Amino acid sequence: MPNHVETRRLPYTARQMYDLVADVERYPDFLPWNSAARIRSRRAGDSGSEVIEADLVISFKVFRERFGSRVTLWPDRMRIDTEYLDGPFSHLHSDWTFADRPDGGCDVRFFVDFEFRNAILRRVIGVVFGEAMNRIVRAFEDRARALYGTGRAADSHKA
């Protein structure tokens, strides 16, 4: 499965975007194909991090799959790393980084690499992978707009 990396310049602070992405429990409220989220555990990690283990339920067409992940929040580094624990993937890794811009707003970088074990799911997702990733990134942008308003700039764009 191909991976996806994208950087967006947004009219919000890095902290606002970090807080939005870190709020895993709210994903079903705005993320496409995410129908449920449950926090398994939450604990302090190394070097000021917080580690969350969570289950997400992904619903796509006739498929409904639960998967577990370990989300490491690095508030001082403005970084969020996700590792796969269990479920329908053969592997999954994602990370987000957030950096304030000197002229206002922030840059948000998103990277994901995953592959489903199921060959049918791989084929279905393979056909729509690029559009699916774009919809997910747009969903975070739309959520930011709903929570924080339009920010300094009227529109966001790729950096």
Q: Is residue 154 part of a domain?
A: no
**Cα–Cα distance measured from residue 18 to residue 106, given in angstroms and rounded to the nearest whole number:** 10
- Check which CATH number belongs to the domain holding 142 and give it: 3.30.530.20
Q: Is residue 16 part of a domain?
A: yes
- Under 8 Å between Cβ of 43 and 54: no
Closest CA to 50 of 75, 69, 33: 75
Q: Is residue 105 part of a domain?
A: yes
Q: Is residue 103 part of a domain?
A: yes
Is residue 154 over pLDDT 70?
A: no
pLDDT in tens, 96-143: 999 999 999 999 999 999 888 888 777 777 667 778 888 888 999 999
Number of domains the chain contains: 1
Q: Is residue 156 part of a domain?
A: no
pLDDT in tens, 40-98: 999 999 999 999 999 999 887 777 889 999 999 999 999 999 999 998 888 999 999 99
Domain that holds residue 21: 4-148
Confidence of residue 155 (pLDDT cuts 50, 70, 90): very low
124-157 burial code (b ≥16 CB/10 A, e <16): bbeeebeeebeebbebbbebbeeebeebeeeebe
Q: Is residue 75 part of a domain?
A: yes
Q: Is residue 17 part of a domain?
A: yes
pLDDT above 70 covers a percentage of the chain that reads: 92
Is residue 156 over pLDDT 70?
A: no
Is residue 153 over pLDDT 50?
A: no
Q: Is residue 158 part of a domain?
A: no
